[in-house]
Chain A
Amino acid sequence: MKTVEKLGKTVEEAVELALKELKAKREEVEVEVLDEGSRGLFGLLSRMAKVRVTLKKKPEEKALEFLRGLFNILKIAPDINMVYEEDGLCKIEMKGKDLGIIIGKRGATLNALQFLTSLVANKESGEYQRIVLDVEGYRKKREKVLRELALKVAKKVKETKKSIALEPMPPSERKIIHSTLQNDSRVKTHSEGEEPYRRVIVSLKYPPVR
């Protein structure tokens, strides 16, 4: 963790100097006032203000640290790569041997790990950083599977004229179903139930009149 101590005529001045040295903004640091300083009397006995300024860890740094420690305990050593996507999302990709256990059935373990990692990363920070975990391109593959599933279900709904409820899915996966079918002229989608059992229902846009 990066820390500097600075002197200044006032606390504010000392903080400014520290921020300049750390090349950081006010919200990215923690300030500890070591000495308020004192003007003294007619310039006599005056003391400089002293502050200790520490650069706070960014959420994504905390996320990486948390994951590395966790993998260490699990005795797996994936390659970890972090990329920023255009919408401010931070994607942490893992590659390597024996990573099946961190994906789990339909990504259950990966989603749980992602949820815990986001909590740890954003625990003390003001701004919320969205974090997505991926293993060996799993998210892309899952997206393809979900798109195919959506189309298959839509076809069945049109044939049988009955609504179909999909199995419960996390929000990111439901979004894929909704977006796949949003331009379909004959079926519509909506979600029902409470997290984590919320599920997408695919139904006919114009139910047949009896």
Chain B
Amino acid sequence: MTELVEYIAKALVDHPEEVTVNRVEGEQSVIIELKVHPDDMGKIIGKQGRIAKAIRTVVKAAAAKEGKRVIVEIL
């Protein structure tokens, strides 16, 4: 799942080399922390969080296939 978040993030930003993704195992869910270059924040969040919402929707669908609950956090 980290691979998916990293892939989408890198495709959207101007500084793909500064995308870092971290996986934190929770009790019932997996938290994926996404960090990007400060200038790329807008490209990952979007107006009213539209891009962030779309990323979460796609990741959630992929996670459902594996029967997991995934939370994507943008740091």
User: CB within 8 Å of B: which residues of A?
Assistant: 66, 69-70, 73-74, 101-102, 104, 108-109, 112-113, 115-116, 119-120, 123, 194-196
- Which chain B residues lie closer than 8 Å to A112 at the CB level? 53-55, 57-58
Do the beta carbons of B7 and A69 come within 8 Å of each other? yes
- Which chain A residues lie closer than 8 Å to B57 at the CB level? 104, 108-109, 112
- Interface assignment of B11: CB less than 8 Å from any CB of chain A: yes
- Partner-contacting stretch, out of B20-28, B29-37, B59-67: B59-67
- Interface assignment of B74: CB less than 8 Å from any CB of chain A: no
Cα separation A73 to B7 with both chains bound (whole Å): 9
- Interface assignment of B12: CB less than 8 Å from any CB of chain A: yes
- Interface assignment of B41: CB less than 8 Å from any CB of chain A: no
Name A101's contact: one of B4, B43, B64 (CB within 8 Å). B64
Name B54's contact: one of A69, A70, A101, A115 (CB within 8 Å). A115
Interface size for B (C-beta < 8 A) is 19
Name A109's contact: one of B4, B50, B61 (CB within 8 Å). B61
User: CB within 8 Å of A: which residues of B?
Assistant: 3-4, 7-8, 11-12, 43, 48, 50-51, 53-55, 57-58, 61-62, 64-65
- Which chain A residues lie closer than 8 Å to B54 at the CB level? 112-113, 115-116
Do the beta carbons of A70 and B7 come within 8 Å of each other? yes
Do the beta carbons of B58 and A109 come within 8 Å of each other? yes
Q: A70-B4, A112-B57 given. 15 additional CB < 8 A pairs?
A: A69-B11, A70-B8, A73-B4, A101-B61, A102-B61, A104-B61, A108-B57, A109-B61, A112-B53, A112-B55, A116-B8, A116-B51, A116-B54, A119-B51, A196-B53
- Which chain A residues lie closer than 8 Å to B62 at the CB level? 74, 101
- Which chain A residues lie closer than 8 Å to B61 at the CB level? 101-102, 104, 109
